[in-house]
A and B are shown apart, each in its own frame.
Chain A
Amino acid sequence: MDVILLQILNGLDKGSAYALIALGLTLIFGTLGVVNFAHGALFMIGAFCAVTLQKLLSLSHTVIDETQTDFLGNPLKIEKPYIMDWFGPEIGGGIIEWAVPLSILFTIPVMVAVGFAMERGLIKHFYNRPHADQILVTFGLAIVLQEIIKYFFGANPIPTPAPEALSGSIDLGVMIGFEVNEIVYPLWRMVYFAFAAVIIGAVFAFLQFTTFGMVVRAGMADRETVGLLGINIDRRFTIMFGIAAAVAGLAGVMYTPINPPNYHMGMDFLVLSFVVVVVGGMGSLPGAVLAGFLLGILESFASTTWATTTIPGINQVIIYLVAIVVLLTRPRGLMGRKGVMEE
C-alpha cells in the first residue's frame, strides 16, 4: 500500500514535468502547426535562467585573507558577494538562497522574449514548409542553443538548491496513519507538482475564459475562417508561442532544485516529451496533460522491484511499450483528432 502511494506521488511529480513540456509543445503544434524540436532547449534555457540569476546574485568581489592559504600556498582569496555587503550577510544570504523561486519572475519575460525572437526570426518562415524541414531547422537550432549554453556554463551540472525552507522532506505517511518513514516525500517535489497544476490550470483558464483564448481556440480549429473574419490570427499565434516558451521555461526553472541543470537536459527530455504528445494525441491539450501524468505514473510503477523482477528491463522500455500499445489500439493517441499530422 505504502509502495503504491509512494509511486503515485513519484508518478505525479515526474508527470508534472512531462505534462508541462508536452503542453507547450502541443500549444505550438496546435496553433502554428510547427513540430518544434527546440522545445527541449527552451526547457533547458529556462533552467539556466535560474542558474544565471543565482550567479548574478552571488556576483562577488575578492577579499584576501592572509591567515589562510589556497592550494598553491598563496594567501586565500575569499569571494564576497556584493549583495551581502549591501544587505548584510543575513538578508543578502537569504536572497541568494531564494534565487530559484525569485528567478520565476526573471524567467517569464526572458522566455517570452526568446519565444518571440524564435518565432519571428526563424519559425515564421517555416509555416508552409514540410514538417521534415521544420524538424531539421528546429533541431539545428536546439543544437546551437545548447552548444552556446555549454560554451558559457560548461558541460558539468551546476547545483541550484532550493531554499532551506522548501528543501528537505516531509513524512506524509504519519499524517494519514502510516508508520514513521513509510511515506516520506521531498517538499520541493510537492511544490513542483502544485506549481505545475497551477500553470496547467492557468493555461486552460486563459484559453477557455478569455476572448483572446477563444480566438486562439477558433484559430486552432480553423485558421482560414478566423482569418477571413478579419482577425489577425498570426499575431495571436505569435503570442501563444511566447506563452508556450514561458511554460517550458518555468518548467525548467522549477526543475533545477530536483536535478542540477546541465546543457543537454533539454535533449534528455525531448524524445520523451514527443512520445507524451503523441500518446496524448497530436494537437490535444488535455491529451498532452493526461498522457504526461499517465506515463509518469506508469514509469514509476515500472521501476519498482516487483515490476523489474517480474519482467526484467521493464523500467527501461515501459514508456515506449506504452506508446506502441496506445498507438496500435487508439490510432490517434488518447485524445487526438483525425487528420492531424497523418499525411
Chain B
Amino acid sequence: MFGLNKKDGLLFLVVIAITLLAPFLLNPFPENSGMAQFNAGYPDLLQRFAIYGIFAIGFNILFGLTGYLSFGHAAFLGVGSYAAVWMFKLFTYNVVPAIAFAMIVAAIFSVLIGYISLRRSGIYFAILTLAFAQMSFALAYSVLSNPKFNLTNGETGLQVYSNDPQMFHRDGLPNLPHIFGLSVRASYELELGGWSFTFNVGYYLCALIMLIAFYFAIRLFRSPFGMMLRAIKSNNTRMTYTGLNAKPYALAAFVISGMYAGLAGGLLAAMDPLAGAERMFWTASGEVVLMTILGGAGTLIGPVLGAGLIKYMENIVSKINDNVLHQWFAFLPDGMEDFMVTIIHPFVGKGWNLTLGMIFVLVVIFLPGGLVEGGQRIARLFTGKKARAAEKSSQSTPAE
C-alpha cells in the first residue's frame, strides 16, 4: 500500500481518514449546546492544526531521528511566511508559487544556518540555532523594518496593500490568497439537525499538503537515509569510525526539516496573508520542541498530536471566561455554582498557560514517550499480554 509496510500503511490510512473528516470529528457537539464551546471544527483552527502538524513533523525529522535539538526552528517558519507574503505583494495571490518560494527561501536559510551550527553538537548546537533565530527575530522586528529598507514591516507584520504591484493579479481573481481562482476562504456549510459543519478550501489545501508531508516523513523514516540519521543519534562516534562522514546526512536532515518549517510558514501566510516577526521569537521555537516531545519524539504521529493539543489549548481553553463557566454550572444551586466557577477559574481563560504548564509536567512524569505512549498504554489495556510483548518489539523509538 503506497509502498509502505502494513503497519505504516494502516497508520497512514487512519491519518487520511481523520484529516478528511476533521470538520465532522472536531465538531462533536450540537451548535447550541453548552458543550459547543469545545468544538474545534472551524476553519482557522483546523488550518492551524494541519500547519503546525507539518511544522512539528519536520522538526521531528531533525530531532526525533538525529537527536539534534534545534532551538531556533521558528526562524525558518518566519522566513517562509515573509517569503510567501512577498510573493503575494509582488506577483500574485495564487498560493502555489508563494508556498514554493517559501520552501526555497527556508531551504537557503537552513543550509546557511545548518552548515555553521552543525559544526557543534549537543547543547552547543541548540544555543547556536537559538542565537541565529533570536538574531533573525531582532532584525525582522526592528532593523529590517526601517522606513528606508522595509523588508518586514516590523511590529505590525508584513501585509499586502492595495498599491502593491501584484504583477499577475487579474480582475476576476479573488482579492485574497487563492488556488487558481478558488479563494482559500471559500467554505461549504452543512447543517445537520443541531450540528453545523464547515468545509473550508484552505483547510483541505493544508490537509492535503500535510498528508503529503506525512507520507514523505514515513518514507523517510523507513529509508536507508532515515537509518543513517538514527545512527547519528545512537552513536555518532562509531559512525565516524566506520568511515562515514555524518555531517552531510545531518545537514540534509536539517535542510529537509527547515523546508518543512518554511512550508508551514508559507501555508500560514497563505491562509492569512500577514507575517509577523513574533513567529520567529524563541518561545515559538520552544513551542515546536514542546509539541514534538509532548506528542512523542521519534514517533510518526506524535508531533501532530502534540501540535493539535497545544493549539487547542491556545484557541479553545483561552476563550472560556467566567461568563461561560457560570452558564455551564447554572443548573447547580447558587453556592455550588460559584464554588465550581471559583475552582475552575484559574485554569481556563487567561489561566490557559497554567493548564498547559501542568500538562507538560504531568505528561513528562507519567508518559515519557508522550501522548503516543499514552495511546499505547490504553491500547494495551484492551489487548492481552501477548499483544503487549509484540508491541514492545515493534514499538518505535521512545522520546529522546
Q: A140-B364, A147-B357, A327-B120 are in contact. Are A316 and B351 (CB under 8 A)?
A: no
Q: What separation, in Å, do the CA atoms of A82 and B128 have in the docked complex?
A: 53
Answer whether residue A177 sits at the interface, using C-beta atoms and an 8 A cutoff: no
> Do the beta carbons of A316 and B132 come within 8 Å of each other?
no
Q: How far is the CB of B243 from chain A (nearest CB, A)?
A: 21
Q: How far is the CB of B278 from chain A (nearest CB, A)?
A: 14
Flag the segment in A51-59, A89-97, A123-131, A248-256 that touches B.
Answer: A123-131
Among A115-173, those with CB < 8 Å from B are 122, 125, 129-133, 135-137, 139-144, 147-148, 151
Q: What separation, in Å, do the CA atoms of A53 and B364 have in the docked complex?
A: 34
Among A325-343, those with CB < 8 Å from B are 327-328, 331-333, 341-343
Q: Which residues of A contact B (CB under 8 A)?
A: 35, 122, 125, 129-133, 135-137, 139-144, 147-148, 151, 267, 271, 274-275, 278, 282, 312-313, 316-317, 319-321, 323-324, 327-328, 331-333, 341-343
Q: Which residues of B contact A342 (CB under 8 A)?
A: 120-124
Q: What separation, in Å, do the CA atoms of A274 and B285 have in the docked complex?
A: 15
Q: What separation, in Å, do the CA atoms of A130 and B283 have in the docked complex?
A: 21
Closest to A140 in B: B360
Q: How far is the CB of A266 from chain B (nearest CB, A)?
A: 13
Q: What separation, in Å, do the CA atoms of A305 and B91 have in the docked complex?
A: 40
Q: Which residues of B contact A135 (CB under 8 A)?
A: 289
How many residues of chain B get a CB closer than 8 Å to chain A's CBs?
46
Q: Which residues of B contact A (CB under 8 A)?
A: 63, 67, 69, 116, 119-124, 127-128, 130-132, 134-135, 138-139, 142-143, 146, 236, 282-283, 286, 289-290, 293-294, 297, 346, 351, 353-354, 356-361, 364-365, 368, 399-400
Q: Which residues of B contact A136 (CB under 8 A)?
A: 289-290, 293-294, 360, 364
Q: Which residues of B contact A267 (CB under 8 A)?
A: 283
Q: What separation, in Å, do the CA atoms of A6 and B64 have in the docked complex?
A: 48
Q: Which residues of B contact A35 (CB under 8 A)?
A: 123
Q: How far is the CB of B330 from chain A (nearest CB, A)?
A: 25
Can you name 13 A-B residue pairings with CB atoms under 8 Å? A122-B361, A139-B360, A143-B360, A144-B357, A144-B361, A271-B134, A312-B143, A316-B138, A324-B128, A327-B124, A328-B119, A341-B122, A341-B124
Q: What separation, in Å, do the CA atoms of A333 and B127 have in the docked complex?
A: 11
Q: How far is the CB of B181 from chain A (nearest CB, A)?
A: 42
> Do the beta carbons of A132 and B135 come within 8 Å of each other?
no
Q: What separation, in Å, do the CA atoms of A262 and B123 have in the docked complex?
A: 29
- Extra contacts, 13 of them, besides A133-B293, A133-B364, A143-B357 (Cβ < 8 A), are A35-B123, A131-B69, A140-B356, A140-B364, A144-B361, A151-B346, A282-B123, A317-B138, A317-B139, A327-B128, A328-B119, A328-B120, A341-B122
Q: A316-B139, A327-B124 are in contact. Are A133 and B358 (CB under 8 A)?
A: no
